[in-house]
Structures are given as structure tokens and as C-alpha cells.
Structure 1
Amino acid sequence: MTTSQFETKTKELIDGLKKTCATYGLGNDGNEFKIITQAFLYKFMNDKFAHEMQQLDVLLRKAPHWEEKLATYSDDDVEMLHLQLLENTARLERHHLIRSLFGHQNDNDFAQRFDETLIDIAILNADIFSVQTDGGTKITLFDRLSLFIADPSKRNAFCRAIINQLVTFSFEPIFAEKYDFFATIFEYLISDYNKDGGGKYAEYYTPHAVARIMAAILVTEERDNIRCYDPSAGSGTLLMNLAHAVGEERCTIYSQDISQKSSSLLRLNLILNNLVASIPNVVQGNTILSPAHRAADRSLLKYDYVVANPPFKLDFSDFVEDLDVPENNERFFAGLPNVPKKKKDGMAIYPLFVQHIMHVLKENGRAAIVLPTGFLTAQGGADKKIRKKLVESKMVSGVVSMPSNIFATTGTNVSILFLDRANDGKVLLMDASNLGTKVKEGKNQKTVLSMKEEDRITETFNAREAVEDFTVAVTYEELKKKNYSFSAGQYFEVKIEYSEITAGEFAEKIEGYNQALTTLFQESTDVKSAILENMSRLKLNQA
């Protein structure tokens, strides 16, 4: 079976699981995404375990039905194989396997057996596969899925329908392939569960073009033992692109996100992308109020690369006063916002994320942050203070102003701010707002960048090239003189086009302009007279 065929079969599996949920009244239910993603994760882990066990034992590999062969092994032999498994492979007991459950599907207590299997797997693998809250509570892999069915009499049938979907084919042959296959599948899997048109906290969906551009500009050299961080990680699009650019084996992922759903999706993304070792660093919690990742001395951990697409506006009035403590004075140097009396959901929270990121960058660290384009030129509040600090600290690398509607879910124009603590040279400002093609996505209009346009952005930026009406390379002193503006357009040279004409041609043009102006003045007089006449008639009629 080719990779393309596997992709088709996998999408059919996902569609089948969604159909099962709809059949049992869970279509568009708040818990549907848990059922779909957890059933898929169970399938993935089962097949990954099967693949790795057969790689370890030639007898299992050659057996027509490896599960039947494994059933003949002693407990000690199975345990010995478990000890040899790589860390990124979940440990499953023989009764946890999909084939084992499939053989019990007609049992009267099948739903209970199904749920207990998932819970057993979660407990057995809790140390490696659990994410945690900022309070230290572990969130394990699986829930009791049958309990989402309100009618107990239908739970056996529901779990039976799921297991019959999962047994249709195996992922095993695809594990020898590059994990890009699963990156594509992940997008399809979560397509219905990671949409938020309101741009609420940490659940923005970052287009792949933006994520690829950010990673390609940040990572320009090969380095080892890299810490990558996203303080508003969502489902992990930015982190996955960054990890691929750095090299999965060369980096460790750290993240925090207030959304439990997003943290669960990020865990799934890490599993599919061979980054299981980073799962314990996934924290569900409020980054601004309670940043979780700390060094041994309790100071905030520092990172080599930071990526973020933070929420722009959010009502955080409930905890803004809690931020006003001495330990935050350095982190939030630009101050805390006042709580408005009205429209609290319009509070700008992105400046707090920018300051947090500046605070946690290593001495040679780099960052890329998606921000509203208004940040580049705002002359008041925290935005101006942040830009001034970036210039004075010589830690801004550049800005890319993106096309409008690059995000289909928001009309806000966005730019990407690039930070580099080691940048003593010029700052590259790019206006890429005229690139891309407009397309319809549902009810919204979206701008799509071609791969050629993506390459143009990244290659021009990394070459630090000044291109007419596209990029400009400016010094820190020039930024100061322009009142710390980061907008490329304010630094482009004003072009005046000259053309040679004779005195007669000049006189002819002037005469044409005079005639046009005379006509306009006459039309204006006629309109004014008509208005006065109508007003007079109106007064007479009223009298």
C-alpha cells in the first residue's frame, strides 16, 4: 500500500469514527473530539507497539499472526521485550491489544472492558504520556469513552462500533516512512475541533505558511540541545514546524496553554511527530499568571527558540490585579493594562505575551511572534514602550507584514515580529502585504501564499536584502529617529517620476486642467443652487 493509499484509508477511519459518533447522537457534541482523538490515539499506539515488538523479535515478525505468537510467550519474556522498547512507544499488555478487544466484542460487559483497557493503558504509561496542569495535576491519555453515551443500554454497541472501525487496517508498514504522513493526518483529524472564529485564548489556528516562514527565518544553522517554547501553543502547529526545522532529535519542546482541549491535541501532535519525550513539558495553565517552566533556582526557564501566535484581545480582568507583584516588575516592564469599564473582552493581552517572551529568551535566543500590525506603529501604551525596549536592547531582528486575511478567521492585519538577542546589525523590515492569492474558505475570504512566495519571503529576509518597495534594512539609530516605528513603508524612499515635455505640451496640459476645474466649479454651483431652491420650496410647503 502506498503512502497515498494509507492516507486515504486513514481519512476513511477518521470519517468512520465521526459517523459512529453521529449515529449515537454525539455529532457536534462537546465530547466528540475526545472520542475521535482518543480512539485514533489508541489505534496509533496499538500499531506502533505492534511494529516495534516485531522489530525486536524475529519470531513475532515472521509469524502469520503476531498477536497469537505473543500469546504463547511467558510473562517474563514479554516483560523483557517491554524493557527494550524505545521511550516513544507506549507499553501495552496483551489484553490491551485491539485484536484482543475485537475478540470480546460480544461480551455483555464489553463497554466496561473497552473503558478499562484504555484506562489501564493510560495508567501504565502515565509517567511519559501525561501532560500536567500548572498546579501539578497529571492529565492522562484516556477517558472512559462509553460514559459519553447517556443511555447505558447503548454503550456496548457504541464501543463495538468503535473497535470495528479500528480493526479495519494497520499503520504498521507506514512507521518506516517519514512522519510527515502523520502531520497531514493530524490536520485532517482535528479540522473540526480547532476552529475559533473569535480568536479566543490560545485556540487561534495558525496557517502552515505562516508557521513555515517563522521556522525558516528562525533556524538558519544546525545546533544541538535546543529548547523550543510556545507560551500559547494551541494544538502545536508552530512548535511542530520549529521542531522539524531544528531536527526532532536535537530539540526539546516546552509549552503552556490555558486550554485543556488544546493541550490534549498538542500531546497527540507530539506523539504523531516522534516527540514523545517532550510530553511531560506540556502544561495546561495560564502562562501570564502562572508560568510553569522553571529552573532549579525557581527562575523562569530560558529558551533558544520561542514561537507564538498569542491571543490578541481577551477579558483578563479577573486576574490582572494578581499580576501586580514585585516578581513581575522585570517581566512586565511596560506595565499592566487598566481594566476598562466597558468592553472588557477588548483588553489587549498580546503585549503581556511579548514581554514574557522577551524575558525568557536566552542570551543568544531568537523568537517569532504573530502580532496585530497596529503594534508596529502605535504611539501610546505598552506597544511603544516594548518597541523602544527592543531597540535599546538591540534584540529585534526584523518584521514581516503579512497580507490581509492570511487568517481566514479574523480580519485583523497581522505581522510577524522576529527577535534576536545577538543582532548587533541592521533590522530587516518587510512589506509582504501585496503577496498571495485571495480564495474563499467557507463564508470567509482567505489569502493563500504560494510556495514560491513563501521562499521569496524567507530567502530575502535571511539574506538581509533591501529590495525596492519590499524590504528595507535599517539601523537602530534610524528606528529611533522614526519614533521606533517598525513599519517598512515608513522607510521606503519616496519616488518622484520625471518626464520631459515641451513648453507647448505643458501649456496644453495646464489648459486641460483649467477647463476641468471650470467644469467642476460650474457643476458645484448648479448643485448648490438646486439645493437652495429645494429648501425654499420645502419651507413654503411647511408654511
Structure 2
Amino acid sequence: MTDLKLKTHQMIDSLKTICANFGLGNDGNEFKIITQVFLYKYLNDKFAYDVKAIDKTLANYGNDWQAYYTQMSDDEQELLYLQLPNTAILKPHHLISYLSVRQNEAGFANLFDDTLFDIATKNAELYAVKTDGGAKVVLFERLSQYISDPSKRDEFCRAIINKISGFSFEHIFNQKYDFYADIFEYLIKDYNSNSGGKYAEYYTPNAVARIMAQILVPDDQRGQLKSQSVYDPSAGSGSLLMSVAHIIGEDKCAIYTQDISQKSSNLLRLNLILNNLPHSIGNVIQGNTLLNPQHKEKGQLKKFDFIVSNPPFKLDFSDFREQLDSKENQERFFAGIPNIPKTKKESMAIYQLFIQHIIASLKDTGKAAIVLPTGFITAQSGIDKKIREYLVNNKMLAGVVSMPSNIFATTGTNVSILFLDKSNRDKVILIDASNLGEKIKDGKNQKTVLSIVEENKICETFANKKAIEDFSVVVSYDEIINKNYSLSAGQYFDVKIDYIDISESEFNTKMQGFEQTLSDLFEQSKTLEKEIQNSLKTLVFKS
């Protein structure tokens, strides 16, 4: 696996080099080219793997299986396609091997583009992402169009085909998720900066994703759940969803998402394909969740078993605020809608709307985990407090984990994870994990990295509702009300006073010592004052 992982990274690096050689280095279209070529390679090899598993004759042909596949009749091919398990259907002329043989023909760029477009069209039902306007965004674009000089397009497409035809992914398709996560993270790592387009905003750290998933689905429930719906209203690249889906089981859950960003929707589609969840791509919506939520049943918001979200914290939504402040949204946004500030509209607390939307989208037995600014858990007025009052008064709170600072390298905002559980009528656990983790440099930024031991400590403490000195407390809803609805663990920690046995004479001796020390310091201060004043008198002006 290590060797294949290395080859995969080398292939991605090679695609970046090709883009640079043709003038597309750090170009806004470079990421599209690399991800779509990578996806074409992945689908090609996944198709080969699946058809060989179905038809043993194809498998017996080994590396020459394409020749036998090409000679199959239309009826034989159709029978083969019917047995494919959520895999893209590739005709013989769609295969990399077919394009490789024809790469020296004139107009190869057109053939290359037509092939990818044909694959996207024929597999649109499985792989297209829908927009809230009803349009379908298919898998592939015409990639050679990004080369401004038409005379260089054939050469560009030839270079791509030669780089992706040298090895196969086939023998690793039964491996575990971590390998695919590594590929995905490696694929976007160079785009996690402003120069590459802020892709970091679409990626939640793996440690945060794992903690959220493990707390939402504890050990005693794993393997027991079936037909679960998992939703993220601001999905980004989908790392939170992947973590939950893998714990529940890819075949035991359906993913539902919405995100306003076209970039994030494309990243999410790639992530679903890489993580054996293509059956959920039809539930991916590109659009404004707050203004136009698309997942509905009988005209009402669809309710979900699990919801995870790392919503944007601050964002200017003044252009559509008035549309949100309507009678039909009063129930959904029960705590109110943030006002438009006179200055810094970009500081509008949009996360407050996402929390309320999540509460409205949760089943009566549902659970949710939401990343929020830590200020939310203690604010003593406004929408934040109204939401906390609602959660406590309706007994739907599981707990809070306050994370270390800089757990996200791209923001200095302290964050906490809010856990909701509509079935939790009893105790609530509050964890202060702010002192955990190791500080490391990440480029120009500093971030905090949790060890696996520390992740497990957080999850086990939460699952067992265990009180640990200066780390966690277990409180009742009434205790939270008495603390003015604060969800900060630190406000519930016992104040400890250390007492030392001492006699009256020892006490008097210590006090005399303190008084003498203080007198000596006062005398030194007077001496220094005189010295400073005398020094100032010696200063003269010189022109």
C-alpha cells in the first residue's frame, strides 16, 4: 500500500507539473483539471475492478481484459452493467487504454474532451450534483478549453493520458478509508491558502471530525444502526459526513447535504466517490441552505437522524436578510435573525442561523454535533442565549466540548463542539479540553494537534459522563438554569482552597517577615526616585 500511495502522490504531482508547463500553474482552473483527471483515472480503474469481479472471464484475461470487453456484444455489455454496484459505466471507447492508443491522432484534445463529457452524460443519474434551481452539474468539463493556445491542446491531453496510464488502483479498492482520506487531503493541501483559493474553509481537521463522529455514534451502537440519514447544511468537502458514515457503515446510511459553494460541492462529490458513497450524490444540493432549503418532505423541512456541521461563523448575509425575516421562517428561526451592523457587515453572526436550522431539521430521536465559536456557550444576551435557553428548557442537550485554541490552523477563533440529543432527558456533560494538544507550526500559522490518546480521553469521558477534576463536569438541566444557562465547564468546577496547619507564633513571624520585606522595598523605591530626579537635572539641551 505504501508503494501505491507514493505512486498516487507522484501522479498528482506530475499533473501539477503538466499544468505548470502549459501555463496553468496556480491558475484558478488548475484544481479543476487535477481533480477531474484524478477522478477519471479512479473511475476507470474502479470499473475494471468491478467488471472483473462480476465476469470471471474478464478477470482471466488479466491486463488484456479490455480486448475481450471490446468484443462483447451489446447485450452482454448491458447485462454486465446491470450488475455493477454503484459504479460509473464505461464503454470500451471510454477507457484510458483506448485513448492511449489513439493519442497521436490529430485532434486528440477533442477526442479526450468528448470522452470525458460522454462519460459524464451517460452517468449523470448517478453522479450529477443538483442546484437549488434544478440544474444538474455533471462530472466532467472540457478540460482542454483551459489551454488558451489551441495548437497546444493535443499535446496537453497527450501528457495527461501518459501520466495516468502507468499504474492501476485496482488492487486497493477493498482497503480502508484512511488511505482514501490521505489521497484527498494530499490532493487539496496546496490549495489551503489564499494563493490557491481558500480550500481550507471546506476542510475540517480529522481530529475534530473523529471526535464528533465517535461521540455521536458510541461503541455500543456501532453495527446496530440501519437506514440512517446523515445531514450537513454547510457541508464543505464533507469530512464530517465521511467520519460519521464510516462508523455507521456506508451501506447503512444516506448522506444529505447543501452548500452554496460550487467548489465545495465538487470537492464533496469527489469525496463521496472516493469513500464508497456514490449512492448519496443525488442528495447533494448546491444552493443557499438558509434562504432556500431543498431537503423537504410534504412541504416541510426533512428531519434527520444525525446532523453534523462546521458552519461559517461570520458572513455578510445582508443581501437576503429581509427574505429570511418572514412569517414562514418564524418557527425555524425561533431565536431571531442577526441584525445588520452599521459597520463590518462581514461580522454578521451567520452561525446563529445554522444552529436554529439544524434544530428544526432534527428528528425527535435525532442527534447533532456543531462546531461553534466558544463565545456562544457563555453569551449572556441576544440570540446565543435564547438558543441555549431553548435547548435546556426542551431537554435536548447532550454536552459541550471546548477545544484547544488554534485547533483550526486557519483561524484564531476558539471553538467548542455543541452536541444535541433529543432523547437525553437527564444529565449533561461539559468538557474543557482547552489545555490538551501540542502546539506546532503549520506554515505561517500555529495549530494545536491532539494525540490519539487525547482524542480517546475526550470521547470516553463524554460517553461515560465521567467527572474529572479540572477537565469535565456532569450537571443537571436545573444546575445549568441556575448558572444562567452557561455551558462552560469552567464555571462549574469546584473552587479549591488549600489550608496549611500553622501556629499563632509561626503566623506572626511570617507576617513580620512580609512587613519587613515591604518596608525594604519602599525604601529602595525612594532611593531610586531621588537618583532619577538627580539624573534628570544633569540633562542639558545641545544644538
Interval of TM-score (by shorter of Structure 1 and Structure 2): over 0.9
User: Which of 220, 240, 243 does residue 242 from structure 2 map onto?
Assistant: 240
Inter-CA distance 186–424: structure 2 relative to 1 (3 Å threshold): same
The 3-state SS of whatever aligns with 2:507 is helix
Q: 2: distance between equivalents of 1:477 and 1:535?
A: 64
The 3-state SS of whatever aligns with 2:116 is helix
| Alignment pair present for 1:187 and 2:189 | no
The 3-state SS of whatever aligns with 1:223 is coil
Counterpart amino acid of residue 186 in structure 2:
Y
What whole-Å deviation, never above 9, does each CA across 1:77-133 have from its counterpart, x for those lacking one?
A: 2122112212x2000111000000001111111000000000000000001100111
**Retained in 1: the 8 A contact 2:28–2:196?**
no
Counterpart amino acid of residue 70 in structure 1:
Y
The 3-state SS of whatever aligns with 2:296 is coil
Q: 2: distance between equivalents of 1:261 and 1:199?
A: 10
Q: 2: distance between equivalents of 1:339 and 1:402?
A: 29
**Retained in 2: the 8 A contact 1:202–1:259?**
no
What whole-Å deviation, never above 9, does each CA across 1:160-197 have from its counterpart, x for those lacking one?
A: 00000110101111123234322221111122235569
Inter-CA distance 216–151: structure 2 relative to 1 (3 Å threshold): same
Counterpart amino acid of residue 44 in structure 1:
Y
Counterpart amino acid of residue 77 in structure 1:
E
Inter-CA distance 205–420: structure 2 relative to 1 (3 Å threshold): same
The 3-state SS of whatever aligns with 1:318 is helix
Residue 109 of structure 1: aligned partner: 107
Superposition map of 1:209-358 within 5 A:
209-220=207-218, 221=221, 222-295=224-297, 297-358=298-359
Counterpart amino acid of residue 298 in structure 1:
G
User: Which of 164, 167, 171 does residue 165 from structure 2 map onto?
Assistant: 167
The 3-state SS of whatever aligns with 2:125 is helix
What whole-Å deviation, never above 9, does each CA across 1:316-370 have from its counterpart, x for those lacking one?
A: 1111111011111011111111111211111111111111111111001111111
How much does 1:523 deviate?
4.8
Residue 67 of structure 1: aligned partner: 66
TM-score normalized by structure 2?
Answer: 0.95
Residue 138 of structure 1: aligned partner: 136
**Retained in 2: the 8 A contact 1:228–1:303?**
yes
Q: 2: distance between equivalents of 1:198 and 1:153?
A: 27
Counterpart amino acid of residue 279 in structure 1:
I
How much does 1:58 deviate?
1.6
* RMSD value, Cα: 2.1
Counterpart amino acid of residue 292 in structure 2:
S
Inter-CA distance 537–290: structure 2 relative to 1 (3 Å threshold): farther
**Retained in 1: the 8 A contact 2:193–2:200?**
no
Q: 2: distance between equivalents of 1:515 and 1:264?
A: 73
| Alignment pair present for 1:388 and 2:389 | yes
Q: 2: distance between equivalents of 1:396 and 1:324?
A: 27
Residue 484 of structure 1: aligned partner: 485
| Alignment pair present for 1:51 and 2:49 | yes
Residue 79 of structure 1: aligned partner: 78
What whole-Å deviation, never above 9, does each CA across 1:355-398 have from its counterpart, x for those lacking one?
A: 11111110011111111111111112111111111111111110
**Retained in 2: the 8 A contact 1:199–1:410?**
no
Residue 474 of structure 1: aligned partner: 475
Inter-CA distance 465–421: structure 2 relative to 1 (3 Å threshold): same
What whole-Å deviation, never above 9, does each CA across 1:37-89 have from its counterpart, x for those lacking one?
A: 00000001001111111112122111140011112222222122112212x20
**Retained in 1: the 8 A contact 2:88–2:123?**
yes
Residue 504 of structure 1: aligned partner: 505
Counterpart amino acid of residue 262 in structure 1:
S
Q: 2: distance between equivalents of 1:479 and 1:154?
A: 67
The 3-state SS of whatever aligns with 2:301 is coil
Q: After superposing the two structures, state which structure 1 stretch, 501-510 or 413-422, moved more.
A: 501-510
Q: Give the length in aligned residue pairs.
A: 537
| Alignment pair present for 1:4 and 2:2 | yes
Residue 41 of structure 1: aligned partner: 39
**Retained in 1: the 8 A contact 2:203–2:238?**
no
TM-score normalized by structure 1?
Answer: 0.95
Q: 2: distance between equivalents of 1:429 and 1:158?
A: 56
Q: 1: distance between equivalents of 2:410 and 2:195?
A: 5
What whole-Å deviation, never above 9, does each CA across 1:178-237 have from its counterpart, x for those lacking one?
A: 343222211111222355699989924311011000000001213111000111111011
**Retained in 2: the 8 A contact 1:396–1:421?**
yes
The 3-state SS of whatever aligns with 2:314 is coil
How much does 1:261 deviate?
0.6
The 3-state SS of whatever aligns with 2:409 is coil
Counterpart amino acid of residue 164 in structure 1:
N
Q: 2: distance between equivalents of 1:532 and 1:321?
A: 65
**Retained in 1: the 8 A contact 2:395–2:477?**
yes
The 3-state SS of whatever aligns with 1:253 is strand
Q: 1: distance between equivalents of 2:160 and 2:214?
A: 40
Q: 2: distance between equivalents of 1:501 and 1:85?
A: 82
What whole-Å deviation, never above 9, does each CA across 1:230-267 have from its counterpart, x for those lacking one?
A: 11111011000010111111100001111101110100
Residue 156 of structure 2: aligned partner: 158
**Retained in 2: the 8 A contact 1:407–1:446?**
yes
How much does 1:527 deviate?
6.1
What whole-Å deviation, never above 9, does each CA across 1:511-539 have from its counterpart, x for those lacking one?
A: 2221232234345555666787899999x
Residue 399 of structure 2: aligned partner: 398
**Retained in 2: the 8 A contact 1:197–1:410?**
no
Structure 1: which 4+ aligned runs deviate by more than 4 Å? 194-202, 523-538
The 3-state SS of whatever aligns with 1:229 is strand
How much does 1:502 deviate?
2.8
Inter-CA distance 384–519: structure 2 relative to 1 (3 Å threshold): farther
Q: 2: distance between equivalents of 1:196 and 1:315?
A: 19
Unaligned runs of 5+ in 2: none
Inter-CA distance 529–319: structure 2 relative to 1 (3 Å threshold): farther
Counterpart amino acid of residue 409 in structure 2:
A
Q: After superposing the two structures, state which structure 1 stretch, 69-78 or 219-228, moved more.
A: 69-78
Inter-CA distance 356–419: structure 2 relative to 1 (3 Å threshold): same
Q: 1: distance between equivalents of 2:133 and 2:190?
A: 30
Inter-CA distance 465–209: structure 2 relative to 1 (3 Å threshold): same
The 3-state SS of whatever aligns with 2:319 is coil
